[in-house]
């Protein structure tokens, strides 16, 4: 709990530097296009715990995730953060960039204001590799899957892949592909698919309860701390083999 409090206090402080005291007291409700405060604290703590020194984020928007990542990298000794967001000026008016400048975290930051399917191959061609990738771009299966493909190539072994909005069915399916066919270890509680039926949600709670105390603890952490954020550690650089066995439960 002490580590959680420390992460939350650090994230609150960097939000206050970037957006003013209101952002810290009202968490991210005072900031448009923001992750939940608890999710930002998880981003910060996972980067710190794994000693990450370089990062890529896909999707910048208002800059809250940029602040959490940038501060964690700085606290780990410093390193580059690359944000890929084709709409940073067109849609968001440069608010993410302004937040980083206000928080004194802009020096090690680079914005690629191009679509992810252009910017990510560009980074690979430059020889860039990193310890952390956050996927929070366009939430269709094809875009998320493409983000995972390039993130896997960018990440060093033992690096961390974090994914936002994992409850969306398309994002959840991409996560299942990663879990089943790639050498990644789940760092967060298991991701769960959004269920619209009350009956389906009740049945899921019952199934979790039948799995025992640890499953119940993880499900509670998912609901109260991680929300729609998932995290994986890359264990090895390995291609999915050709003609692999079909997996239908993505």
Q: In the 8-state DSSP scheme, what is residue 91?
A: T
pTM: 0.93
Break the chain into its structural domains and give their ranges: 2-191+227-234
Is the domain defined by 2-191+227-234 classed in CATH 3.30.450.20?
A: no
Give the DSSP H or E segment for 145. helix 141-154
Distance separating the N- and C-terminal Cα atoms of the chain: 34
The average pLDDT across 123-134 equals 98
Extract the tokens encoding 135. Answer: 């996927």
Mean per-residue pLDDT over the chain, rounded:
91
The answer to whether the beta carbons of residues 58 and 33 sit under 8 Å apart is no
pLDDT in tens, 76-113: 999 999 999 999 999 999 999 999 999 999 999 999 99
pLDDT in tens, 137-191: 999 999 999 999 999 999 999 999 999 999 999 999 999 999 999 999 999 999 9
Strand partners, 55: 81, 132
pLDDT in tens, 6-55: 999 999 999 999 998 877 666 656 566 678 999 999 999 999 999 999 99
Q: What is the CA radius of gyration of the chain?
A: 18
Identify the residue with better confidence: 201 or 158: 158
Give the DSSP per-residue string, 17-40: HHH-HHHHHTGGGGSSS---HHHH
Q: What confidence score (pLDDT) does residue 26 get?
A: 62
Using DSSP's 3-state secondary structure scheme, residue 221 falls into: helix
Strand partners, 232: 161, 186
pLDDT in tens, 208-246: 888 899 888 887 878 888 999 999 999 999 988 887 765
Give the DSSP H or E segment for 129. none
Q: What confidence score (pLDDT) does residue 249 get?
A: 54
Collect all residues with Cβ–Cβ distance below 8 Å to 179 and sequence separation of at least 6.
Answer: 186, 232
């Amino acid at each position: 709990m002490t580590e959680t409090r420390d992460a939350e206090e650090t994230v609150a402080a960097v939000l206050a530097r970037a957006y003013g005291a209101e952002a810290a007291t009202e968490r991210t409700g005072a900031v448009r296009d923001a992750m939940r405060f608890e999710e930002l604290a998880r981003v910060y703590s996972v980067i710190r715990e794994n000693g990450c020194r370089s990062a890529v984020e896909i999707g910048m928007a208002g800059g809250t995730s940029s602040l959490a990542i940038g501060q964690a990298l700085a606290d780990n000794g410093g390193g580059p953060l690359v944000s890929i967001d084709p709409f940073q000026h067109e849609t968001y008016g440069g608010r993410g960039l302004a937040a980083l400048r206000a928080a004194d975290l802009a020096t090690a930051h680079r914005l690629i204001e191009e679509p992810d399917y252009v910017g990510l191959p560009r980074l690979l061609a430059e020889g860039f590799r990193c310890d952390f990738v956050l996927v929070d771009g366009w939430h269709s299966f094809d875009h998320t899957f493409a983000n995972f493909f390039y993130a896997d190539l960018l990440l060093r072994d033992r690096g961390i892949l974090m994914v936002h909005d994992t409850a969306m069915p398309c994002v959840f399916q991409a996560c299942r592909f990663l879990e089943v066919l790639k050498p990644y270890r789940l760092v967060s509680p298991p991701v769960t698919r959004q269920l619209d039926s009350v009956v389906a949600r009740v049945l899921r709670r019952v199934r979790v309860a039948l799995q025992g105390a640890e499953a119940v603890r993880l499900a509670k952490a998912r609901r109260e701390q991680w929300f729609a954020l998932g995290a994986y550690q890359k264990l090895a650089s390995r291609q999915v083999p050709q003609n692999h066995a079909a997996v239908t439960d993505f």
